[in-house]
Amino acid sequence: MAKRIDVSGLSAYYGSHKAIDDISMTVEPRSVTAFIGPSGCGKSTFLRTLNRMHEVTPGGRVEGKVMLDDENLYGSSVDPVTVRRTVGMVFQRPNPFPTMSIFDNVAAGLRLNGSYKKNELAGVVERSLRGANLWDEVKDRLNKPGSGLSGGQQQRLCIARAIAVEPDVLLMDEPCSALDPISTLAIEDLISELKERFTIVIVTHNMQQAARVSDRTAFFNLAAVGQPGKLIEIDETDRIFSNPSVQATEDYISGRFG
Amino acid sequence: MASTTPADTPPAPPVPGPGSRSTGRLGDKVFLGLSKGSGILLLVIMASIAVFLSYRSVIALSDNEGNFLTTFEWNTAGDPPVFGIAVLLFGTVVSSIVAMVIAVPIAVGIALFISHYAPRRVAAPLAYVVDLLAAVPSIIYGIWGALVLVPYLEGLNSWLDEFFGWTYVFEKTEIGIPRSLFTVGILLAIMILPIVTSVSREVFLQVPRMNEEAALALGATRWEVIRLSVLPFGRSGIISASMLGLGRALGETMAVATVLSPNFLVSLHLLNPGGGTFAQNIAAKFGEANEFGRDALIASGLVLFVLTLLVNGAARLIIARRKEYSGANA
Ligand SMILES: Nc1ncnc2c1ncn2[C@@H]1O[C@H](COP(=O)(O)OP(=O)(O)O)[C@@H](O)[C@H]1O
Ligand SMILES: [Mg+2]
């Protein structure tokens, strides 16, 4: 079930290096929010704080609050493993489990949870693969390894794997940057379908992509290399691309820097 | 070849054609000659060793009155000579199996602890100590085994006999110091533990970050990350590591010779003293054997060699068969 994300006063560190500073924003359920900004401004870092993946990096540390509906993900009694089961993630480079078959890749999350009935598994796998617009391409080779698919298919397999466990939120970190234009379009179409069911946050380098798929866009920037990244503004995507309220956003979007 | 390597000697012509490749390329020529020569030399040496060993083996085998594969006896000085490798093959294989069964799981466990559980300030020294253990000479293990391990194992053996005697394998029917194949297996396990651990640890550390994050992002616990990402990626590495260990266990000589009290019987009562291995038998008998006796021992050595080759070939097959799943193209 899609949930609202409410971030307040969030900073993240790598050891003593502060990568993002004091970020607050709200992400509405069943919407697509795009993160844009120059390289190194902390988009990935921020995204990874939303499912507590940041802290698996050695030295990774977070201050602040992330509310998922009314639960603080960084509450003292919250287990990060549980958080990651409800906030799914798709990475920049497709990373299916290379030794597993296509079927087992999609089933992996369910099997971890242990909360499925044996006779439902095949149904969930099919539904997830259909949900990722991959079913027709792989239905005849479900027991072949996932690493044998093309890059775009692998990425959709990863999306199927992520949505199979019915997460509340789906995070995507530049999911198309390693893909060809046709696969990119396939994934963009998919994102528009998935937002009916999930809260989606997507980092993208591609401004047209942000304009095409997202409802709201957040622009991040950093004052100088080595300085922490900051959220400059977040607004309706139409507004950000037509009439942003901050000059730096307009400069970035019109290609004057970055 | 000649036109693609950049010319580093001054008088080289700008575009050396195929005919002019030798001018100004003395270094190339010398190196080519050297590497070709040493390659050929290596093959010649290997071939002559093989020819020599086979020749001597054939001499011994043609006079053997017993069946070389099934005879439970090693009497090369008799008239007629009767000898066979049944006991040695059994002892070698059984002690190595015991060693692998004990060592591989423990080694993988230690390797995982070092690579994925221990904090860095513990992991580094621990890895170093394990590497250091691999450098201990086998005679030291042998002495330690005879002086410390063997007496210590008497207690373990009685315990095994009491609770697992019904399995036959762990039934102890002879009293006496446990200079048995089982003890040898344990000692071999300790000896191969470091090398299996080191190689496995190296492989586990090479698991791509994105493979582990795939599991983490699904909500995998640390153990589940290991199960989903680390072990599948490391599988062929674990097999290679085990084969390295197995190679050492199969051929180990001094430690076995120091600990075992050999005889020429085959018994599945692994706790009883007795048995023998190829390498131990050669070490024990080579010195005092006459020429024919040595030829017979050489023949047994050839069998050990073939056994090692077979084991390695099998390992390669297993690894190759998993290649489709190896993730090389992920
Ligand atoms: N694993 C890491 N260790 C240390 N610093 C890191 C690490 N990953 C990212 N950083 C630093 O954090 C900052 C933000 O990086 P990142 O979130 O990857 O930016 P983006 O995704 O916007 O390009 C950069 O200054 C980067 O150097
Ligand atoms: Mg990034």
Contact A97 B235 (CB under 8 A): no
Among residues A48, A38, A51, which one has the least CA distance to residue A12? A48
The mean per-residue pLDDT over the stretch A124-151 comes to: 94
Tell me what pLDDT residue B330 has: 36
Report the range of poorest mean pLDDT among A34-48, B16-30, B94-108.
B16-30
pLDDT for B2 beyond 50: no
pLDDT for B18 beyond 90: no
Tell me what pLDDT residue B4 has: 43
User: Quick check: B271 and B160 in contact, CB under 8 A?
Assistant: yes
| Cβ within 8 Å of residue A179, ≥6 positions away | A151, A152, A155, A187
Between vectors from CA B131 to CA B93 and to CA B309, what angle results, nearest 5°? 30
User: Quick check: B72 and B265 in contact, CB under 8 A?
Assistant: yes
Between residues B70 and B23, the one the model is more confident about: B70
At B288, the pLDDT band (50, 70, 90 cuts) reads very high
Closest chain B residue by Cα to residue A101: B325
The mean per-residue pLDDT over the stretch A17-32 comes to: 96
Q: Enumerate residues 43 to 72 of chain B having a beta carbon within 8 A of any beta carbon in chain A.
A: none
Tell me whether residue B82 is in a domain: no
Atom of ligand 1 nearest to the CA of A43: 22
Tell me whether residue B59 is in a domain: no
Q: Is the dihedral of CA A188, A193, A194, A198 positive or negative?
A: positive
Closest chain B residue by Cα to residue A163: B218
How far apart are the C-alpha atoms of B106 and B99, rounded to whole Å? 11
| B228 in contact with A, Cβ within 8 Å | yes
Query: The tokens 């969930």 sit on which residue?
Result: A124
Measuring CA to CA, how many Å separate B277 from each of A181, B261, B268, B330? 64, 11, 15, 45
Tell me whether residue B204 is in a domain: yes
CB nearest to B219's CB, from A81, A98, A100? A81
| B326 in contact with A, Cβ within 8 Å | yes
The mean per-residue pLDDT over the stretch A4-22 comes to: 96
pLDDT for B297 beyond 80: yes
Atom of ligand 1 nearest to the CA of A220: 22
CATH value at residue B269? 1.10.3720.10
Whether the upstream peptide bond of residue B80 has omega within 30° of 0, thus cis, is yes
User: Quick check: B256 and B279 in contact, CB under 8 A?
Assistant: yes
pLDDT for B22 beyond 60: no
Tell me whether residue B311 is in a domain: no
Q: Which fold has domain A5-95+168-253?
A: Rossmann fold (3.40.50)
Contact A93 B210 (CB under 8 A): yes
At B3, the pLDDT band (50, 70, 90 cuts) reads very low
Nearest chain A Cα distance for residue B238, angstroms: 15
Give alpha helix (H) positions in A21-134.
Answer: 43-49, 80-86, 102-113, 118-131
Q: How far is the CA of A42 from the centre of ligand 1 (A)?
A: 6
φ/ψ (deg, to 5) at B329: -105, 15
Determine which of A55, A81, A97 to mutate to test the interface with B (most B C-beta atoms within 10 Å): A97
Q: How far is the CA of A57 from the centre of ligand 1 (A)?
A: 11
Among residues A213, A215, A167, A208, which one has the least CA distance to residue A190? A213
Tell me what pLDDT residue B21 has: 53
As a dihedral over the C-alpha atoms of residue B244, residue B248, residue B251, residue B254, rounded to 10 degrees, the angle is 170
The mean per-residue pLDDT over the stretch A131-143 comes to: 94
Q: How far is the CA of A13 from the centre of ligand 1 (A)?
A: 9
pTM across the whole model: 0.85
For A174-198, b/e burial (b = at least 16 CB within 10 A) is: bbbebbeeebbebbbebbeebbebb
Among residues B4, B27, B29, B21, which one has the least CA distance to residue B12? B21
Q: How far is the CA of B212 from the centre of ligand 2 (A)?
A: 18
Contact A147 B330 (CB under 8 A): yes
Give alpha helix (H) positions in B220-277.
Answer: 222-225, 231-251, 254-259
At A123, the pLDDT band (50, 70, 90 cuts) reads very high
- B306 Rama sector, left if φ>0, alpha if ψ -120 to 50, beta otherwise: alpha
pLDDT for B98 beyond 50: yes
**Which residue's alpha carbon is nearest to atom 7 within ligand 1?**
A14
Atom of ligand 1 nearest to the CA of A45: 17
Joined together, the tokens standing for residue B123 give: 């992991």
Q: Which residues form ligand 1's pocket by a CB distance below 6 Å?
A: A 14, 17, 19, 37, 39-45, 57, 229
Among residues B104, B107, B186, which one has the least CA distance to residue B153? B186
For ligand 1, pick from A36, A45, A220 the residue to mutate: most ligand atoms within 8 Å of CB: A45
Q: How far is the CA of A166 from the centre of ligand 2 (A)?
A: 25
How far apart are the C-alpha atoms of A65 and A49, rounded to whole Å? 10
Whole domain around residue B233: which residue ranges? 89-284
Tens-place pLDDT, residues B168-208: 889 888 887 889 999 999 999 999 999 999 999 999 999 99
Which ligand has the nearest atom to the CA of A225? 1
Q: How many domains does chain B have?
A: 1
| A49 in contact with B, Cβ within 8 Å | no
pLDDT for B8 beyond 60: no
Tens-place pLDDT, residues A56-73: 999 999 999 999 999 999
At B79, the pLDDT band (50, 70, 90 cuts) reads confident
Nearest chain B Cα distance for residue A46, angstroms: 15
Tens-place pLDDT, residues A153-193: 999 999 999 999 999 999 999 999 988 898 899 999 999 99
CB atoms within 10 A of CB B184: 32
Which residues make up the environment of ion ligand 2, defined by Cβ < 5 Å? A 44
Tell me what pLDDT residue B15 has: 52
At B14, the pLDDT band (50, 70, 90 cuts) reads low
Tell me whether residue B54 is in a domain: no
Closest chain B residue by Cα to residue A104: B228
- B143 Rama sector, left if φ>0, alpha if ψ -120 to 50, beta otherwise: alpha
Tell me whether residue B302 is in a domain: no
Nearest chain B Cα distance for residue A157, angstroms: 12
CB nearest to B216's CB, from A56, A154, A158? A56
Nearest chain A Cα distance for residue B233, angstroms: 7
Tell me whether residue B269 is in a domain: yes
Which ligand has the nearest atom to the CA of A224? 1
**Which residue's alpha carbon is nearest to atom 26 within ligand 1?**
A40
Nearest chain B Cα distance for residue A109, angstroms: 6
The mean per-residue pLDDT over the stretch B19-30 comes to: 72
How much is the mean pLDDT over chain B?
A: 88
Strands (E) in chain A, as ranges, are 5-14, 17-27, 32-36, 60-68, 71-72, 87-90, 169-173, 199-203, 216-222, 229-236
The residue extents of the domains of chain A are 5-95+168-253
Give chain B's end-to-end CA distance (angstroms, integer).
33
A to B CB pairs, distance under 8 Å: 84
pLDDT for A256 beyond 90: no
Between residues B206 and B5, the one the model is more confident about: B206
Residue A165: list chain B partners with CB under 8 A: 218-219
